[in-house]
Amino acid sequence: MTMHQSTALLTDMYELTMVESTLQSGAADRESVFEVFSRRLPAGRRYGVVAGTGRILEQLADFRFSDAELSYLREHRIVSESTIDWLADYRFTGDIYGYREGECFFPGSPILTVTGTFAEAVLLETLILSILNHDAAVAAAASRMTIAAHGRPCLEMGARRTHEQAAVAAARAAVVGGFAGTSVLEAGRMYGIRAIGTAAHSFTLVHDTEEDAFAAQIATMGTDTTLLVDTFDVRRGVERAVRAARDAGGELGAIRLDSGDLVAQAITVRRQLDELGATGTKITVTSDLDEYAIAALGAAPVDSYGVGTKLVTGSGFPTAELVYKLVAREDSRGHIREVAKKSASKGSVGGLKVAGRLRDEDGVAREELIISCASWEQGFEKLDEMGARPLQVPLVLAGEVQSHVTAQEAAAHHVQSRNELPYQAWRLSEGEAAIPSTMIDIFPGDQNPYDGT
């Protein structure tokens, strides 16, 4: 996983045919503003979580059309030779501003803004949306789960339930949402996330007896390991696990429960462990958890949660419904004009947007302020005037990545951003967005954006 690979063809074909057609029509060079936002949150969710920004910045460097990509385009006549020449030289030279990774967002929040020529900016649509839609879906689920866990560590174990590369990104997004570790090693290697894991049922079954299996695991991993006790009979498994650690001269680190009624089992097993004197031995549970199951285990004596399927599939919402829309572009006289699609269900609001979070005197967020304006400067001034916390930072300027973003930094920012939200944001039940989004328009002059008339 160490070598360069191009990300350029992780792209919908129509981005390239649009480049081709605009190169010929002349519109390719028009300065343009594309915006990533969601029209709505998934039903009942109180907030979204920006995630994937760091991955976009990494992959932007690999968005190059090398011989392999160009040959394919040529052989299949996807675009003409002149467009292939243009693609061979392609480097993004524009700007990208975005919400900080880990920031909470709401309907209409302009979480990423790409400015540049139409052709250079439209090309990035698919890659940017793929990354953000996937990672934000996982991070939002992770955030709800870590709320439900009330400080008990949550561990990501969903690799087997999702695409093998998506699994690595999901582990990263889980960390953004507050998870403490991952089962998948590549996420450990790439992102410095703590890797965790000890043994599966097959490990017990390949040995002649459960005692043999436990002794073998302790012999290599020490007594501070986690033994899986539900292969045959939980009560007997717990007895054997505690004894195996004592035989090796220590106290067992933890036992893992992976099936059955987890609340009842956790209570029973805790009592059994305490009766056996293994009061320091922890309990981790890993069976089909989601935020509701985690909340239900709140009163049970559980020390950590391993979450798989529901985490990597966004707990019911596997994609974040983010879109990438042209909101302003240069006209034939070189003036920037707002543009917007008119569809009733899929309309968009024109203009560059600068966003800030308005907070009350206690520092509690009360409104997402979204300002349609002519420039970053104008928008930031207005935010300052209104006392709103600015949400966007420059990520790429003139094609240069300004600073990379780690999952750990994003996780730290997410904690701050989430803590700032009003109480209702923390509720798992379905409801409205935690704060309303308010759009104001200070774009000078042209108040009626181009609508095709």
What is the Cα Rg of the chain in Å? 26
Residue choice 160, 235, 271, 427 for contact with its own copies (CB under 8 A): 160
**394 to 127, 358, 391: CA distances (angstroms):** 19, 20, 10
Q: Which stretch binds its own copies (CB under 8 A): 230-238, 292-300, 390-398, 420-428?
A: 230-238
Contact 9, 69 (CB under 8 A): yes
* C-alpha span between 177 and 382 (Å, rounded): 31
CB 263 within 8 A of CB 297: yes
* Cα–Cα distance list, 54 to 48, 139, 197, 205, 401 (Å): 17, 13, 26, 42, 10
Closer CB to its own copies, 71 or 419, in the complex:
71
Measured distance CA(123)–CA(106) in Å, rounded: 26
For CA atoms 249, 254, 255, 261, the dihedral sign is: positive
Nearer to its own copies, 239 or 420 (CB): 239
Residues between 253 and 312 that touch its own copies (CB under 8 A) = 258-260, 287, 309, 312
Among 162, 223, 304, 392, binds its own copies (CB under 8 A): 162
What is the rounded CA–CA span in Å between residue 249 and residue 223?
A: 8
Site for its own copies in 7-66 (CB under 8 A): 7, 9-18, 20-22, 24-25, 27, 30, 32, 34, 59, 66
**Least distance from its own copies to the Cβ atom of residue 384, Å:** 31
Q: How far is the CB of 268 from its own copies (least distance, A)?
A: 15
- 92-131 residues in contact with its own copies (CB under 8 A) are 118, 122, 125-127, 129-131
- Name the residue nearer to its own copies (CB basis): 17 or 438: 17
Query: Any contact of residue 326 with its own copies (CB under 8 A)?
Result: yes
Supply φ then ψ for residue 390, to 5 degrees.
-65, 140
Binders of its own copies in range 355-414 (CB under 8 A): none
Per CB under 8 A, which region of 98-106, 179-187, 243-251, 378-386 contacts its own copies?
A: 179-187
Judged by CB under 8 A, which of 49, 84, 169, 435 binds its own copies? 169
Looking at beta carbons only, is 95 or 210 nearer to its own copies? Answer: 210
Q: Least distance in Å: CB of 133 to its own copies? A: 5
**Span from 1-9, 296-304, 378-386, 401-409 in contact with its own copies (CB under 8 A):** 1-9
Choose, by CB under 8 A, the member of 53, 115, 143, 217 that binds its own copies: 217
Q: What is the DSSP string of 341-397?
A: ---TTT----SEEEEEEEE-TTS-EEEEEEEEES-HHHHHHHHHHHTPEE-EEEEEE
Residue pair 30/18 in contact (Cβ under 8 Å)? The answer is no
Q: Which stretch binds its own copies (CB under 8 A): 87-95, 140-148, 211-219, 409-417?
A: 211-219
Residue in this structure with the two tokens 């990263």, named with its chain if needed: 172
> How far apart are CB 335 and its own copies at their closest, in Å?
12
User: Partners of 37 in the beta sheet?
Assistant: 323
Residues in Cβ contact with 323 at an 8 Å cutoff, skipping those fewer than 6 apart: 36, 37, 38, 39, 129, 348
Q: How far apart are CA 416 and CA 433, in angstroms?
A: 18
Minimal distance, residue 50 CB to its own copies, in Å: 16
Coil, helix or strand for 104?
Answer: strand
Please check whether residue 240 is in contact with residue 214, taking contact to mean a CB–CB distance below 8 angstroms.
yes
Tokens of 422: 């009003």
Specify the residue, 236 or 271, whose C-beta has the smaller distance to its own copies.
Answer: 236
Nearer to its own copies (CB atom), residue 332 or residue 447: 332
Map residues 129-148 to x or -, x wherever contact with its own copies holds by CB under 8 A: xxx-xx--------------
According to CB under 8 A, which residues from 189 to 208 bind its own copies? 189, 195-208
Strand partners, 104: 49
Rank residues 84 and 391 by Cβ distance to its own copies and give the closer one: 84
Q: Which of 43, 76, 385, 448: binder of its own copies (CB under 8 A)?
A: 76
In the bound state with its own copies, the residue whose beta carbon lies nearer, of 90 and 450, is 450
